[in-house]
């Protein structure tokens, strides 16, 4: 007796006919009849009463079909889950990210993914860049979402995702607070507060790229503070701070945000997803595909 026999029995009981069961499986009626007879001979129990009008379950057959139906349904369910897992529609994916990504584009993308793939469990890990890359390399993290350009992590695969405007946080009474946007040269001479935590180092590189000169470097004060605490320091006149666009949504009394522009327009910060090339988790692939920018 195998699963095929059970399927024929369940279908015959449901349809009240061997012929109807055969039609359901696209086989000839004698095949169904023969397979069911083999089971009856193996069990030494008659499962069906045959007649010209069809096939009806015997009392023993009724009890047998209850268990047979449960087995068939369990196998079908397991098969469907295995196929869904292989297709990346079911499973679990571990995603690492900076604390500064706890709002903005990442949260929007994460919400869309969870709505699209409700059967995939997403475990989030919020940790610094070094630990993110170590986690991906060790296999503990399936993919990391970080600030930067494709190729930043040379030993990992990566893909460009979304980008955000770079904004500068200013005290409300700052000389530039009344302007709708700020150009880089207008920020010369300012004291910049950045966090030691990610993406502070990336922000520092952006500052140096746009404001450093052979005889002039921006004043940068690196502090072991969260983004919220940095903004609190800005509000009391301790300096200004470059932030990702998502920071604009933070309620910070005494701080205004203005986009930073260069000669070509707004300065933007790009985000990428990184993963190990040998990571074969189908759920990871679905997550990356869902986050890819639409053309």
Summarize the confidence of residues 133-160 as an average pLDDT: 91
Whether 295 has a pLDDT exceeding 70, the answer reads no
pLDDT: which is higher, 128 or 251: 128
Burial class (CB in 10 A: 0-12, 13-18, 19+), 27: middle
Supply the pLDDT for residue 152: 86
Q: Is 90 left (phi over 0), alpha (psi -120 to 50) or beta?
A: beta
User: What is the C-alpha separation between 233 and 221, in angstroms, rounded?
Assistant: 11
Supply the pLDDT for residue 245: 81
User: What is the helix, strand, coil percentage profile of the chain, to 5?
Assistant: 45, 25, 30
Whether 232 has a pLDDT exceeding 60, the answer reads yes
Summarize the confidence of residues 266-294 as an average pLDDT: 88
Each residue's pLDDT tens digit, 173-228: 999 999 999 999 999 999 999 998 888 888 898 999 999 888 888 999 999 998 88
Supply the pLDDT for residue 263: 86
147 near 246, Cβ under 8 Å? Answer: no
Q: How far is CA 267 from CA 172, 191, 256, 258, in A?
A: 22, 19, 18, 11
Query: For tokens 């209850």, what's the residue?
Result: 66
| Its pTM surpasses 0.95 | no
Q: How many CA atoms lie within 13 A of 96 on its CB side?
A: 23
Whether 253 has a pLDDT exceeding 60, the answer reads yes
Q: Is the peptide bond before 199 cis (omega within 30 degrees of 0)?
A: yes
């Amino acid at each position: 007796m195998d699963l095929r026999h059970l399927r024929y029995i369940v279908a015959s009981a449901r349809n009240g006919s061997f012929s109807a069961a055969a039609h359901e499986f696209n086989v000839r009626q004698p095949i169904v009849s023969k397979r069911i007879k083999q089971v009856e001979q193996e069990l030494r129990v008659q499962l069906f009463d045959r007649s010209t009008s069809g096939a009806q379950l015997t009392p023993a057959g009724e009890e047998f079909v209850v268990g047979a139906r449960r087995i068939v349904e369990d196998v079908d369910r397991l098969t469907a889950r295995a196929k869904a897992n292989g297709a990346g529609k079911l499973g679990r994916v571990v995603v690492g990210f900076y604390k500064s990504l706890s709002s903005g584009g990442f949260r929007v993308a994460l919400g869309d993914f969870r709505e699209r793939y409700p059967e995939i469990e997403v475990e989030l890990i919020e940790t610094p860049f070094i630990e993110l890359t170590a986690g991906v390399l060790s296999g503990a993290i399936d993919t990391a979402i970080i600030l930067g350009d494709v190729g930043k992590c040379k030993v990992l695969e990566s893909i460009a995702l979304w980008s955000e405007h770079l904004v500068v946080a200013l005290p409300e009474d700052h000389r530039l607070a009344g302007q709708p946007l700020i150009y880089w040269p207008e920020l010369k001479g300012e004291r910049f507060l950045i966090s030691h935590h990610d993406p502070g180092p990336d922000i520092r590189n952006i500052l140096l790229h746009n404001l450093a000169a052979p005889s002039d470097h921006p004043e940068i004060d690196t502090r072991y503070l969260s983004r919220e605490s940095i903004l609190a320091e800005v509000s009391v006149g301790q300096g200004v701070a470059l932030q990702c666009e998502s920071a604009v949504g933070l309620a910070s009394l005494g701080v205004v945000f203005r986009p930073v522009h260069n000669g070509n327009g707004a300065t933007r910060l790009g985000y990428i997803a990184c993963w190990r090339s040998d990571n074969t988790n189908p759920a990871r692939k679905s997550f990356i595909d869902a986050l890819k920018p639409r053309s």
